[in-house]
Structure 1
């Protein structure tokens, strides 16, 4: 959660500064395209018991680490209020097996988790313009590297996401952005060709702060 606090603190400073110094700005409107470049913390909320091939509880749980990386979001406005956003970025996560007296890294993997969401913007003409959204995501795991003699296979799949954020107009077409998404995603993973298995609810928070430009 240190990464989340860092992103939120930086975003608040940026938003407050923008609100205080902005003069003229481009409002949101039908046909507008907005590009947001953000720093995003992917903060997992992993929960999954590791079981044997016959279903017995091993006493271990899967734990997935957090990461902070740059992301890009592209938003198109169908109307002044309704828009669709697609985000792209990739993060690297460490997968551990933890339990009484056990804390071992079994795998490291990159994840490509694009999210497409439909948004409603409450105050498109205002300098401070909040929004909410909901959509779908796809988790693609790639370039995985096994660790400490373990062999791990993680399934890709679809999930869904809820979103809330705010844009603060700075000057002309520039804006500051704070965005929070909650992604709901569950995956199956097998260890050592199925000798151990787990169903993990990753359910990450994606906390982002950055700047946007309207075209």
Structure 2
């Protein structure tokens, strides 16, 4: 069995080496727009809040996206997609909507995808990919309006998220090395939010569960070697 597995692994490696083009590696950088379609139930916990309909909504954000793709056969590649962590503004909805922006948070969301290329090495090369997304939230902070709505200084925490990711896209070969790459991606991102407000009578904890439902649009320049 050990010999059989070794032989299979060697065969796969030789297939990849034989099938991949001379430009097996591609790095890319460009713009990314993250269109968030967040959903969250009303905040629970506390006394002054929530009132019926005290909800939050996460706003869209733009950033710089970059990544690396390794083509191990003409039709298949593996990709690591990254980006400069964007800051998302959060707004009150329902009862707390008059307070406007109540908080903001940054997200770090590396994603690994396996891609299938429909027209390998063509001038225009469409592809689809599926993979795994990990999102870590950092730099969460409440605004003055948010603290007024909550009743005092508020510390915000969001749990990390693991979820499936998928994208569709196409690359346009400018020449042998340079290309333009555009994608539309979706990731299953969700998080438990905990807001702890310090009041004169003690800490008040409020929670909710956010489904971000982000759709990311990217347009990048790629360099293959």
Q: State if a TM-score over 0.5 links the two structures.
A: yes
- Whether 1:110 and 2:102 are equivalent positions in the alignment is no
Q: How does 1:30-41 map to 2 (within 5 A)?
A: 32-41=24-33
TM-score (norm 2): 0.77
CA contact (8 A) 2:54 2:96 kept: no
Cα distance between partner residues in 2 of 1:82 and 1:101: 49
Kindly provide the CA deviation profile for residues 151-198 of structure 1, in whole angstroms up to 9, marking residues without a partner as x.
Answer: 321111212111100000012311111111011111110222663211
Displacement, 1:105? 2.3
Cα distance between partner residues in 2 of 1:185 and 1:109: 14
- Give the one of 165, 185, 197 matched to 2:207: 197
- Give the one of 87, 96, 120 matched to 2:91: 96
Find the counterpart in structure 1 of residue 67 from structure 2: 73
CA contact (8 A) 1:188 1:200 kept: yes
Q: How does 1:6-17 map to 2 (within 5 A)?
A: none
Which deviates more, 106-115 or 56-65?
56-65
CA contact (8 A) 2:58 2:90 kept: yes
Find the counterpart in structure 2 of residue 87 from structure 1: 81
Displacement, 1:36? 1.3
Q: Which runs of 5+ in 1 are unaligned?
A: 1-27
TM-score (norm 1): 0.80
Cα distance between partner residues in 2 of 1:30 and 1:113: 30
Length, aligned pairs only: 187
- Whether 1:208 and 2:204 are equivalent positions in the alignment is no
Kindly provide the CA deviation profile for residues 136-159 of structure 1, in whole angstroms up to 9, marking residues without a partner as x.
Answer: 111111122222223321111212
Secondary structure (helix, strand or coil) at the match of 1:49 reads coil
Q: Taking structure 1 as reference, are residues 93 and 64 closer, same or farther at Cα in structure 2, changes over 3 Å only?
A: same
Cα distance between partner residues in 2 of 1:184 and 1:57: 29
Secondary structure (helix, strand or coil) at the match of 2:43 reads strand
Cα distance between partner residues in 2 of 1:29 and 1:131: 17
Secondary structure (helix, strand or coil) at the match of 1:125 reads coil
Cα distance between partner residues in 1 of 2:222 and 2:123: 13
Secondary structure (helix, strand or coil) at the match of 2:126 reads strand
Find the counterpart in structure 2 of residue 171 from structure 1: 175
CA contact (8 A) 1:35 1:213 kept: yes
Q: How does 1:156-167 map to 2 (within 5 A)?
A: 156-167=160-171
Cα distance between partner residues in 1 of 2:121 and 2:172: 11
Secondary structure (helix, strand or coil) at the match of 1:79 reads coil
Which entry has the higher C-alpha Rg, 1 or 2? Answer: 2
